[in-house]
Every structure is written in C-alpha cells, then in structure tokens.
Amino acid sequence: MQFDHFDIDGFLSDYWQKKPLLIKNPWKSWSNPLEPDELAGLACEDEVESRLITQERDTWNVEHGPLAETRFSRLGKKPWTLLVQAVDTQVPDVASLIEPFRFVPNWRIDDVMVSYAADQGGVGPHFDQYDVFLIQGLGQRRWRIGAHCDQSTELLPHDDLRLLAAFEASEEWILEPGDILYVPPGLAHEGVAVGDDCMTYSVGFRAPSRGELIAYWSEHLVAGMPDDDRYADPDLQAQDNPGEISAQAIAKLHAMVTDKMLDRDAFARWFGQYASAPKYPDMDWRPEEPMEVQALRERLAGDVPLLRNPASRFSFIRRNENSVLLFVDGQCFECVQETAVLAEQLCAKGPIKIDQAQVKSDSAMELLTNLLNQGSVAFELDE
C-alpha cells in the first residue's frame, strides 16, 4: 500500500515527536488487509502474542493468549477488545502497511499490532513511550487526546494495563476506514470503538531507553572480557593515610571502564546486531533444505522474485565509500564493493532486484545464500 497524498517533510518538521496529527485517508486506495476472523484465528495460535481485554463497569480484565476458539462466542454484550502483536510477521498484507512509513529508519520500526473491538471496546486512557500511527481498518473509533505524561504520572493499580488515574481530553476525532492518527511518545490518549467490527492497525516504533542501552551494551562487553583483565598498580607508593582512595587510582579504575565503553566502532557493531535481532527469536524461518550458491544462481537466472521475510529486520552502517556492515536478524555481515551495493539494496524500500553483475559475484551470492538459509529472504514460489 502507498500514500496518494502525504507531506513527509512537513510532517517530520512540524509533528514528529512534537504533536498529534489526524491524517484523513491518504492512501491511493484503502483496503482492509485482514478479516476479523483471521485475527481471531491468530489469537488462538501458541506462537502468537495476544490479549483479550474485557470491561465491566470500572473493572478491566486481561486474558493472555493463546485463546480457545470458543472464547469469542462467550463474550456477550460487554465491551471487549482483542489485541494481537506483530501481525506483520504473520500476514504479508499487514506487513505492507509499514512500507509508507519507511521515511523512519528501519531500526526504529517495531511491529504492527492489530486490534478488534466490539461497540465501546477499548483499552482505557493510557500513554506509550514510543511513536505510533493508528490506522483505522474497519468501522469507526473515537480517539481522545490528553496531556503529556511522564514517570510521575499517576496510574491505576493493574498488573497488565497502564491505565491513567486521571484523564482529561483536549482533542477528539472519529476515525473512518483509511484514516490515520499519529500520536507522539508520552501523550495521553484513549480509543473507543463506535459500533461493532472496529479494527485498528497500530504501526509502532522502538525507542531504547538510556538504561536499556547501558545495560545491554555492558552485558555484551562483560561477556567477552577475560577474568585476568584486572586492576594493577606496579608503580604503587606508600600513602600517608591508607584509607584514602587516591586520585590516581580513581583515574586508572575509571579508564578501565570507559576505555571499553567508549569504543565507538565496537558499539556500532553491537548496536546493529542488537537493533536487528528478531522480535521473536524462537521462531525458525529457515528453509527445510539449505540452498547452495550454484542453485541460487540458477534460480536468479530464471527471474524468480526474491522477497524479504516480513519478520526480518534489515539495517546497515556505512564504514566508508565502498564498505558497509549489514545487519539482518541479529547477524553482522561485512560487505565491500558490489556486495556493499547489494547490502544497501536489501535494506531499501521496494522489491529486491538482483542484476546479472551481482549474480556473477561470488561474494554477493555467498551473502544471499546465507540470508536464504537463515530464513531472512526467500523466493516467492517458496512462500
């Protein structure tokens, strides 16, 4: 799916992480990509993350999937909402909803969560720590926007939902199919279904916290450190007071930490792998039979389209004019010359196009073979 009208530069300048925006049906042709019954079927599967939220007066109940097929027939008339995470990894037509938003870097994109709600269903007033585009798929939903929130904002006690203790709306819209509401991080908002058959697609983005980055980067560093890399002071001199930790000792100890922490190249390589790691690493997308380079060349010679796995994450870091580090599903590939060009193509928008010069390149074919065999790309006929 593609936009027919949307000012990307104006949006990034005036709205991105600044204020909400209602975008009235910007699509060339809007078509709801998933039927409600299909969403309910996904919620019944073991490997899919889902929640069913029901409301009785002021009480919110959350059931985690997988759900029994018979559960939906026992919901009655009370308001309820079904939430299914990362539907883009399961349904290619839902994954295509991400494409128009590729003006945001790949590594920032998280997933597409899909919700289905009965009349008056919702998840209550809340705020998120990330940007989100809320695409109305079917029916209508009333969205209300409130104030900015932070860590000090009071929440209601609930084990599974981050519900605001107080919510006062300053803006309100009713979204029709194809409409989009952009909500920046930290902004209070509430969506309530207006009538039955209300489906919303939430294109969410990732924003790692400082604490998260420090914790995982440090964990990565520590895992590779030898136990005998220790403090040493062969130039030690007697102190007037043995209780003092000297400035020289502090400087040496601090350097032991910062010398490793401040290695920018090592951090870049680690972050590329960290940011491209699969959302659900236990899912195995590898083909039943590994492919050899020669077989790959023959398939490409037959003009069989090559597709990215919707569940895979592709990003790269440029090292110099002719060299990049390609990161796919947590793996790092060092690419130079024509293979670097291929790596950038793999990360770009649109279909993957392999030219004959790349087919003749051993390094390019080796890269594609590795990606095929780890399940990150596949031929169209293999889907």
213-265 per-position pLDDT tens digit: 999 999 999 999 999 999 999 999 999 999 999 999 999 999 999 999 999 99
Dihedral sign of CA atoms 117, 123, 124, 126 in order? negative
Residue of 67, 74, 7 lying closest to 43 (CA atoms): 67
Q: Mention every residue, 6+ apart, whose C-beta is less than 8 A from residue 11.
A: 21, 182
Mean pLDDT, range 320-334, rounded to an integer: 96
C-alpha 82/C-alpha 66 separation (Å) is 12
Give the other-Cβ count within 10 Å of 7's Cβ.
13
Q: HSE (CB half, 13 Å, CA atoms) of 199?
A: 21
SS (H, E, C) 178-222: CCEEEECCCEEEEEEEEEEEEEEEEEEECCCCHHHHHHHHHHHHH
C-alpha 106/C-alpha 103 separation (Å) is 9
- pLDDT range class, residue 383, cuts 50, 70, 90: very low
What would the pLDDT profile of 177-198 be if each residue is shown by its tens digit? 999 999 999 999 999 999 999 9
Give the other-Cβ count within 10 Å of 98's Cβ.
21
Find out whether the peptide bond into 33 is cis, omega within 30 degrees of 0.
Answer: no
pLDDT at 305: 82
Tokens of 303: 């003009």
Matching residue, tokens 């990034």: 12
What would the pLDDT profile of 115-136 be if each residue is shown by its tens digit? 999 999 999 999 999 999 999 9
Task: Evaluate whether 8-205 and 293-382 have a shared fold.
Answer: no
pLDDT at 77: 85
Q: In what order do the strands lie in the sheet with 314-320?
A: 314-320, 323-328, 331-336
Mean pLDDT, range 332-355, rounded to an integer: 92
In angstroms, how far is the first alpha carbon of the chain from the final one? 20
Architecture of domain 293-382: 3-Layer(aba) Sandwich (3.40)
pLDDT exceeds cutoff 80 at 381: no
pLDDT at 382: 47
Which secondary-structure segment (H or E) carries 343? helix 338-347
The distance of Cα 164 from the centroid of its chain, to the nearest Å, equals 25
Question: pLDDT over 70 for what percent of the chain?
Answer: 99
- pLDDT range class, residue 351, cuts 50, 70, 90: confident
Domain ranges of the chain: 8-205, 209-227+246-262, 293-382
pLDDT at 167: 96
Architecture of domain 8-205: Sandwich (2.60)
pLDDT exceeds cutoff 70 at 174: yes
Tokens of 364: 């390019």
